[in-house]
Structure 1
Amino acid sequence: MLVTLDAPYVDTSAADLSLARDDAERPALHVLDLDLPGAIRLELRLLGASHQVVLRAGDVVLTETVACLPGRPPELPATVLDEAAGYRFAATVLRPPAAGLRDRVAALRAELADDAFALVGVFPGDADAVTALAVRPEPGGGAVAWRTWHAYPQTNELVLTETVVTLR
């Protein structure tokens, strides 16, 4: 699902992002609610400052926020592995050459625009200023995975994240 957001673009660069788990639900500009196999509910939330995913499955509730978070020092880890919680996170920052960011964002928008398990938010002022989230439902409900993309045209950066939660 492709949505144009009616809010200013507040992220400035990849260096300003933080990861917060089990954060409070933050005000969202747009929310996509998904019911997945295995009684898994996901909320894909576009924030004015990036994204939040809320996972509910049985007695498991997990919130992941990747954003510019007031009061929290910017620190986006390359990897997080929490075996006890069944949580795995990875982040990569790309700096494509020349028109590479524009081409990647255009391809991403085209790929995810009609995907029922994806949410792409375009911020006003620059068609390449996007935050996108996509879920890949897994049969059986034993795990859930999502990927996100945060494009910063002003710094020519594309932040990719991938999360996998194994449910027990």
Structure 2
Amino acid sequence: MRTRVATRFADSRAADLSLAYGLRPLPALGTHRVTLGEMTLELRVLGASHQVVLGEFSETVACLPDQPGALPSSSTRTFGDYSVQFAALCSRPADFATEVSRVVTACAADPDSLVAEFPGSPLAVTALSARSFAGGARWETWHAYPQAGELVWTSSVVTPR
């Protein structure tokens, strides 16, 4: 699913992003509900950030006022009924425009994905893509920061305990 939002993205750079679990659903600029087997996820775009909600579980990658920036490169954690594996990578692709276009094209064609395009630059996007696998769900996200040429990729694997 592809959507154009009317609000400029709020996050200024990749280094400002932090990871939080268990937050209530935050105001979203775009949402997409995805059912994967017996799991229903809500993919949510927040500024140039994201939130995924799965029942009582939520993952938020955003500029959060009460948390310092710095995403972990990897993390394994138990939260409620779920085991969560998280990974993140910030890159500066040599051909930023081509890489962002590749992500947008792939996600826009996928019914289990959400792409939000922000005003001001065709490369200002946040994309989320979900998949199921035996026993759990996985999602990947991309946060594009055209002003800095940064692309943040995250991957989360959630399995019931």
**TM-score range, shorter-chain basis?**
over 0.9
Bigger CA radius of gyration: 1
Deviations 1:94-136 (A, max 9, x none): 1112xx1100111111111121100000110101010000001
Letter in 1 for 2:120: G
1:2-36 deviation digits (Å, cap 9, x = unpaired): 11111111111110001001112100011101122
Amino acid in the other structure paired with 1:81: T
- 1:126 is paired with a residue whose SS is coil
Amino acid at match of 2:26: R
Q: Which amino acid aligns with 2:47?
A: G
User: What is aligned with 1:126?
Assistant: 121
Aligned residues: 159
SS of the residue 1:15 aligns to: helix
Residue aligned with 1:86, SS: strand
- The aligned counterpart of 1:36 is 36
Counterpart position of 1:80:
75
Aligned partner of residue 96 in structure 2, secondary structure: helix
Match of 2:138 in 1: 145
Alignment of 1:1-168 (within 5 A): 1-37=1-37, 39-56=38-55, 61-82=56-77, 85-97=82-94, 100-138=95-133, 140=134, 142-168=135-161
Structure 2: give runs of 5+ residues left out of the alignment: none
C-alpha RMSD over aligned residues:
1.3
- Deviation, structure 1 residue 49: 4.2
- 2:148 is matched by which residue type in structure 1? T
- 1:49–1:69 Cα contact (<8 Å) kept: no
* CA gap 1:149/1:125 in 2 versus in 1, 3 angstroms: same
Secondary structure of 1:77's counterpart equals coil
TM-score under structure 1 length normalisation: 0.90
Moved over 6 A (4+): none
Q: Deviations over 1:46-89 (max 9, x none)?
A: 11241000012xxxx21000011112211211111125741100
- Displacement of 1:150 in angstroms is 0.3
